């Protein structure tokens, strides 16, 4: 058994057994851990896979969250059915946004995606859409009960529901990156001109990467809306996009299992910083972030490599 597989199994076991022994609030945090891990994973497919940079993931997350919330509250739809719809809508949105993004790279792409992140909360606040979006106040989402009369609290049920979806998407993503499309993404990342000379349709695969990434982020957003039981424009600002970006860097760019490490970083480290010093929480967070990037410049992957190297 390889080290990587062993670690994955241990993490998986912890994720399955963990909730049986902890309080409801921690279960909620673990649910958010999985949801952000999905969003980080999505960004990782885009940046680590196809080499495109995005500071606008919060926009796709918001669209997914609002799609689920509106369908559940105004359309009385089952929560589980809203998620694929959120995913498909975000896939389309990302695919369309990928078109102008084709002409941009590096900082220019960063600015364009950032513009998207800045624009979405403002659009959600607009009076025209207030009937559906609830304007600045947002929407309250009801949390689903466990089905089939299972003896579980809502939190625990939703945690396992999220876990199942996360594992499904994780396996699908790994397979995607190993497939023909995934190899095309990576060829574009490493050398666009060489890739196009090899017959890779650069424009198609670049927009496809945007679409897939946005779609997964949308599903994460939908799950997030149900977990938090609330959507409001100010929950999906630029700060969220930055957090997801940090999660990706800390977890390791292009290394999908790192997504959960990155997600843990962006959920727990601000709390740790807060508990170390209230007034200086931002500074403590910054220092911790610097420590991480100094010690492991390629993210959590470096840690695993180091352990593997020690063992041999």
Q: Is 286 in the site for other proteins (CB under 8 A)?
A: yes
Within 13 Å and on the Cβ side, how many CA atoms surround 166? 30
Residues 118-147 that bind other proteins (CB under 8 A): 118-119, 122-123, 125-126
Cα–Cα distance, 191 to 188 (Å, whole number): 5
Q: Which one, 52 or 82, has the nearer CB to other proteins?
A: 52
Within 13 Å and on the Cβ side, how many CA atoms surround 312? 7
Q: Which one, 87 or 258, has the nearer CB to other proteins?
A: 258
List the one residue from 149, 151, 199, 279 that touches other proteins (CB under 8 A): 279
Q: Which one, 115 or 204, has the nearer CB to other proteins?
A: 115
Contacts for 267-274: CB closer than 8 Å, 24+ residues apart: 267/29, 267/32, 267/33, 267/36
Residue 200 CB contacts under 8 Å (≥ 6 apart), including other chains: 184, 187, 188
Q: Which residue from 236, 238, 247, 241 is spatially nearest to 62, judged by alpha carbons? A: 236
Residues 240-259 that bind other proteins (CB under 8 A): 242, 245-246, 248-250, 253
Q: Are 250 and 262 in contact (CB under 8 A)?
A: yes
Cα–Cα distance, 146 to 79 (Å, whole number): 12
CB of 100 to other proteins, least distance (A): 5
Q: Which one, 29 or 237, has the nearer CB to other proteins?
A: 237
DSSP state of 47: I
- By rule CB under 8 A, what count of residues binds other proteins? 41
Cα–Cα distance, 250 to 163 (Å, whole number): 22
Cα–Cα distance, 305 to 169 (Å, whole number): 25
Cα–Cα distance, 267 to 247 (Å, whole number): 9
Q: Is 37 in the site for other proteins (CB under 8 A)?
A: no
Q: Are 272 and 288 in contact (CB under 8 A)?
A: yes
Q: Is 306 in the site for other proteins (CB under 8 A)?
A: no
Q: Interacting stretch for other proteins, rule CB under 8 A, among 58-66, 79-87, 114-122, 220-228? A: 114-122
DSSP state of 283: H
Q: Is 84 in the site for other proteins (CB under 8 A)?
A: no
- The values of phi and psi at residue 85, to 5°, are -65, -45
Q: Is 71 in the site for other proteins (CB under 8 A)?
A: no
Residues 90-109 that bind other proteins (CB under 8 A): 100, 103-104, 107-108
CB of 136 to other proteins, least distance (A): 10
- The values of phi and psi at residue 9, to 5°, are -65, -40
SS3 call for 231: strand
Q: Is 290 in the site for other proteins (CB under 8 A)?
A: yes
CB of 290 to other proteins, least distance (A): 5
Q: Which one, 11 or 126, has the nearer CB to other proteins?
A: 126
Q: Which one, 152 or 242, has the nearer CB to other proteins?
A: 242
Q: Interacting stretch for other proteins, rule CB under 8 A, among 13-21, 62-70, 146-154, 277-285? A: 277-285
CB of 139 to other proteins, least distance (A): 19
> Contact positions toward other proteins, by CB under 8 A?
47, 53, 100, 103-104, 107-108, 110-112, 114-115, 118-119, 122-123, 125-126, 193, 242, 245-246, 248-250, 253, 279-287, 289-290, 293-294, 297-298
């Amino acid at each position: 058994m390889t080290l990587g597989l062993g670690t994955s199994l241990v993490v998986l076991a912890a994720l399955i057994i963990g909730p049986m022994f902890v309080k409801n609030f921690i279960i909620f945090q673990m649910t958010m851990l999985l949801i952000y891990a999905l969003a980080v994973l999505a960004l990782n497919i885009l940046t680590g896979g196809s080499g495109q940079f995005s500071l606008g993931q919060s926009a796709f997350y918001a669209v997914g969250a609002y799609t689920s919330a509106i369908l559940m509250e105004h359309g009385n739809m089952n929560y589980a059915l809203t998620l694929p719809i959120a995913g498909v809508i975000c896939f389309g949105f990302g695919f369309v946004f990928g078109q102008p993004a084709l002409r941009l790279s590096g900082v220019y792409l960063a600015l364009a995606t950032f513009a998207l992140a800045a624009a979405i909360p403002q659009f959600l606040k607009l009076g025209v859409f207030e009937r559906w979006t609830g304007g600045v106040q947002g929407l309250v989402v009801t949390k689903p009960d466990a089905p089939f009369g299972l003896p579980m609290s809502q939190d625990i049920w939703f945690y396992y529901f999220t876990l199942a979806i996360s594992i499904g998407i994780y396996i699908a993503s790994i397979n995607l990156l190993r497939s023909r499309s995934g190899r095309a993404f990576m060829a574009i990342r490493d050398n666009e001109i060489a890739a196009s000379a090899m017959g890779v349709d650069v424009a198609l695969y670049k927009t496809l990467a945007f679409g897939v990434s946005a779609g997964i982020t949308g599903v994460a957003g939908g799950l997030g809306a149900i977990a938090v039981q609330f959507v409001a424009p100010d929950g999906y600002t630029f700060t969220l996009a930055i957090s997801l970006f940090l999660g990706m860097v800390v977890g390791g760019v292009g290394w999908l299992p790192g997504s959960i490490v990155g997600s843990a970083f962006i959920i727990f480290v601000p709390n740790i910083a807060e508990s170390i010093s209230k007034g200086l929480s931002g500074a403590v967070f910054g220092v911790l972030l610097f420590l991480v990037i100094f010690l492991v410049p390629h993210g959590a992957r470096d840690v695993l490599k180091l352990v593997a190297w020690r063992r041999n």
